[in-house]
Amino acid sequence: MVTAILLINAERTRINDVAEQLADIEGITEVYSVSGPYDIIAMIRVTTNDDLADLVTNQLVKVDSIVKTETLLAFRTVSKHDLEAMFSIGI
Amino acid sequence: MVTAILLINAERTRINDVAEQLADIEGITEVYSVSGPYDIIAMIRVTTNDDLADLVTNQLVKVDSIVKTETLLAFRTVSKHDLEAMFSIGI
Amino acid sequence: MVTAILLINAERTRINDVAEQLADIEGITEVYSVSGPYDIIAMIRVTTNDDLADLVTNQLVKVDSIVKTETLLAFRTVSKHDLEAMFSIGI
Amino acid sequence: MVTAILLINAERTRINDVAEQLADIEGITEVYSVSGPYDIIAMIRVTTNDDLADLVTNQLVKVDSIVKTETLLAFRTVSKHDLEAMFSIGI
Amino acid sequence: MVTAILLINAERTRINDVAEQLADIEGITEVYSVSGPYDIIAMIRVTTNDDLADLVTNQLVKVDSIVKTETLLAFRTVSKHDLEAMFSIGI
Amino acid sequence: MVTAILLINAERTRINDVAEQLADIEGITEVYSVSGPYDIIAMIRVTTNDDLADLVTNQLVKVDSIVKTETLLAFRTVSKHDLEAMFSIGI
Amino acid sequence: MVTAILLINAERTRINDVAEQLADIEGITEVYSVSGPYDIIAMIRVTTNDDLADLVTNQLVKVDSIVKTETLLAFRTVSKHDLEAMFSIGI
Amino acid sequence: MVTAILLINAERTRINDVAEQLADIEGITEVYSVSGPYDIIAMIRVTTNDDLADLVTNQLVKVDSIVKTETLLAFRTVSKHDLEAMFSIGI
Amino acid sequence: MVTAILLINAERTRINDVAEQLADIEGITEVYSVSGPYDIIAMIRVTTNDDLADLVTNQLVKVDSIVKTETLLAFRTVSKHDLEAMFSIGI
Amino acid sequence: MVTAILLINAERTRINDVAEQLADIEGITEVYSVSGPYDIIAMIRVTTNDDLADLVTNQLVKVDSIVKTETLLAFRTVSKHDLEAMFSIGI
């Protein structure tokens, strides 16, 4: 599993909308609207780097009202939970 | 469930260690070492605001080699997955 | 009580208006127009995290002429005064 | 009443201590440890500008482990509460 | 006397105009167009904090072509000159 | 008269000392300790550019506990007062 | 061979287009769309400084939708590969 | 091939040394010492994301005198050259 | 001779034009279009501070497509060359 | 002629020393100590890119008390003066 984290700034009045559009994108598993310097944090969990590239360079650009995004690639994941299983099979 | 996201900068040579210490803290469910302006992103999922305050002001300060942390409170979560169930019962 | 602090930048000529609109929002107890890098500091004192999320993601976006907001969650409050009583019952 | 707001960064492991030292200073009425770019926000409510100058240039410098402070002078206060009465007489 | 210092950025082609409008405001005693990160530095010398608040929140906003202002409150003044006398009675 | 404005950051616990050392330097006519991103603002009023260069590159460096200085050259001065006369003859 | 590296920010929805236009410019040998603070990194390998100046000041300005570019001149290149041969003759 | 770009700041007097240490790491194909806000730009071309994670989180930390690194993941590569072939087989 | 250095940002597509307009201004002796955070560096060599003030506050504002300028006053000049003679008499 | 401009920050008390050391380096033709965000601006005029690389990566690192340098490569020079002749033959 390739994991990445999106730090997103959106237009102030459209944050809830943007969060919902993001959550509909295949490969984005969780979307959080947050306090602080970013408006939205989104988790990407996809199978390959090509899926990640497609999501970031083709899917994200279709979401209106995003002002800025920064993509953080996760090098390693440490968790008490089996995240790969959880997000593959859901519950 | 109270959800928060930690953006962490750590000493360059101690990032793997810090990630593992963080993952051992009760209430931190996932720790990612990442590319970009932060070294580590950690997810906090706890029951009350007091748990969050305790984690940030008492637990985090015991972890060596952290240089800077910023805590983002999640106002809303949008997900196709039932995150509350997933992180409560695990798999 | 959930306490948060809003750091707000507004359009230069509309600061007094914005301050008054903010003070009318349920849950915002004090609004200060200030010198320095921010134009307005507002105190939020609400009952639950959901009230805070509603205030920040639904109420604030209706206030015109705000340029940028940053929400700081108060983890702990230290005061010689009984703030919870003061702001619940007023005087 | 002269009102000012302190934005404070403190050493990461000493934030709770600093908050308590600040709350003991005459003229500081509330101290909040917070998420975000600052560690502590403190409210100053004093009688004269000279009190404010004394607090900032003589009292604050005695508090250890403060890294940076920025003082915001409140030009105007808008509140449903009678803050002057509340903080003069307490409850 | 309440003393404050304004750091001002103005539209590049209107700096001389802005400087002259500022110098006409009651309470602004000196206006300097300067090299460096700010375009204009202005000295405010007024009698009370309310005069300062009025100048900053009501008078300044009427000056066109100002892009950004930051107000610095002077806590203490050290001078070989008797500034209070000089700026009260002029020469 | 050559006029320049110094924006100074000093060690947090030494601001009053630094202000007094600065005020003793020939050519520095006023020193203000201030709120905001700088600790001290000082006015330089000297006769020639060489005096200014000497003050900044020889005199200032002898003052301990200064962390950073930025010198703004005043291109033009607008004032209802005759500053040149006031600061030459004093009162 | 004169080597330089372009750090480029482009309009969010036009990054793929910009990358392709850049790759068509004589002297730009590789174009990468990337995560992080820049959108595109491009390698310039030309024969003379005049070629570099022409590329940066005449060719780049014809590419639409670029927001900001920064040009880094490579002082030295260390590689296990013979880059000069590789990029002169291709494969 | 997984491609990433390292933006590196090193101690001012050790840049040449750092560049050479970096060039010796398996998976780093080119190292450029450059003008501008970074000291060194290095290209990483490895087979898998795990190789990239190992290089960044295990190999890089062994290089002395690095002050800061930022890793940019290349989503897409556009080039007139067959980079994959060139850097696999060399010349 | 009064020497100052202009750091200039101009509209990306107009840098060559701006450079030429600047070079035509009396008192600007050299104009460089450069790599890095500024687009153009220009040298000012004039006789008096009033010439400098006039150049910066009256002449520069007539040049279109300048986005931002910062003027650095040269306190001292060290050179193996007799710059004053060179730029007065030319060659 | 290859022209470059150095933007230098030096230790506050050593600026005059650093300026003189820089002026002694072959290829550095003028050194200015300046007001503003940098302490020293130095002009480099050398024959080849290799001379520039040698100056920046070998000569500059020998100068003590430099804190930070940024090198700007001049792409084009516009001047009423024949700079190449002036700095080659001197006067």
pLDDT at B90 over 50: no
Share of chain G above pLDDT 70, in %: 97
| Domain that residue I64 falls in | 2-89
How far is the C-alpha of A42 from the C-alpha of A23, rounded, in Å?
A: 8
Which amino acid, residue C14? R
pLDDT at E90 over 60: no
How far is the C-alpha of A8 from the C-alpha of J67, rounded, in Å?
A: 34
Segment B13-42 shows an average pLDDT of 96
| Domain of residue A33, CATH code | 3.30.70.920
Closest chain D residue by Cα to residue C4: D34
| The pLDDT of residue D87 | 84
**Chains that contact D by 3+ CB pairs under 8 Å?**
A, B, C, E, F
How far is the C-alpha of I21 from the C-alpha of I6, rounded, in Å?
A: 14
Segment F15-31 shows an average pLDDT of 96
Chain J residues within 8 A of F68 when measuring between CB atoms: 12
Strands of chain G, DSSP E: 2-10, 28-34, 40-46, 66-79
- Residues in chain D predicted with pLDDT less than 70, given as ranges, are 89-91
Which of J13, J33, J35 lies closest to F73 in CB terms?
Answer: J35
- Please count the other Cβ atoms lying within 10 Å of the Cβ belonging to residue E88: 11
Chain H residues within 8 A of A2 when measuring between CB atoms: 49
pLDDT at G90 over 50: no
Contact H29, H89 (CB under 8 A): no
- Contact call for F12 and D68, based on CB within 8 A: yes
Identify the residue whose tokens are 């903010």. C22
Closest chain J residue by Cα to residue I89: J81
**DSSP per position, J5-74:** EEEEEE-GGGHHHHHHHHHTSTTEEEEEEESSS-SEEEEEEESSHHHHHHIIIIIGGGSTTEEEEEEEEE
- Is J37 in the F-facing interface, judged by CB distances under 8 Å? yes
pLDDT at B89 over 50: no
Share of chain B above pLDDT 90, in %: 85
Contact J4, J72 (CB under 8 A): yes
CA neighbours closer than 13 Å in the CB half-sphere of residue G82: 9
- Residues in chain A predicted with pLDDT less than 50, given as ranges, are 89-91
Rounded to the nearest angstrom, the minimum Cα separation between C89 and chain D is 10
Closest CA to C83 of C20, C41, C29: C29
| The pLDDT of residue F88 | 75
Chain B residues within 8 A of H71 when measuring between CB atoms: 35-36
B48-57: string of b/e by CB count within 10 Å (b at 16+)?
A: ebebbbbbbb
Q: What tens digit of pLDDT does each residue of J44-73 get?
A: 999 999 999 999 999 999 999 999 999 999
- Please count the other Cβ atoms lying within 10 Å of the Cβ belonging to residue A13: 14
Contact J80, I29 (CB under 8 A): yes
Tell me the pairing of strands A40-46 and A2-10: antiparallel
- Please count the other Cβ atoms lying within 10 Å of the Cβ belonging to residue A60: 22
Closest chain F residue by Cα to residue D64: F13
Spacing of C-alpha G68 from chain mean position: 13
Q: What tens digit of pLDDT does each residue of H25-75 get?
A: 999 999 999 999 999 999 999 999 999 999 999 999 999 999 999 999 999
| The pLDDT of residue D81 | 86
pLDDT at G2 over 50: yes
**DSSP per position, I9-75:** EE-GGGHHHHHHHHHTSTTEEEEEEESSS-SEEEEEEESSHHHHHHIIIIIGGGSTTEEEEEEEEEE
pLDDT at E6 over 70: yes
- B60 in helix, strand or coil? helix
Chain J residues within 8 A of E34 when measuring between CB atoms: none
Segment B38-47 shows an average pLDDT of 97
| The pLDDT of residue C89 | 47
DSSP state of C49: H
Per-residue pLDDT of chain I (91 residues; tens, 9 = 90+): 899 999 999 999 999 999 999 999 999 999 999 999 999 999 999 999 999 999 999 999 999 999 999 999 999 999 988 888 888 744 3
- Is J37 in the E-facing interface, judged by CB distances under 8 Å? yes
| The pLDDT of residue B91 | 38
Classify residue C87 as exposed, middle or buried by CB count within 10 Å of its CB (0-12, 13-18, 19+): buried
Of the listed ranges B76-90, E26-40, E67-81, G30-44, the one predicted with least confidence? B76-90
Identify the residue whose tokens are 């810090």. B18
- List Cβ neighbours of C11 (8 Å cut-off, separation of 6 or more): C18, C65, C67
On average, the pLDDT of chain J sits at: 92
**Total tally of structural domains belonging to chain B:** 1
Identify the residue whose tokens are 């550095």. J28
Q: What tens digit of pLDDT does each residue of C54-85 get?
A: 999 999 999 999 999 999 999 999 998 888 88
| Token pair listed for D6 | 């302190």
Q: What tens digit of pLDDT does each residue of D28-46 get?
A: 999 999 999 999 999 999 9
pLDDT at F50 over 50: yes
Chain E residues within 8 A of F74 when measuring between CB atoms: 32-34, 41
Which of I33, I36, I37 lies closest to G57 in CB terms?
Answer: I33
| The pLDDT of residue A91 | 38
On average, the pLDDT of chain E sits at: 92
**E–J interface: beta-carbon pairs under 8 A:** 5
Classify residue C82 as exposed, middle or buried by CB count within 10 Å of its CB (0-12, 13-18, 19+): exposed
| The pLDDT of residue I91 | 38
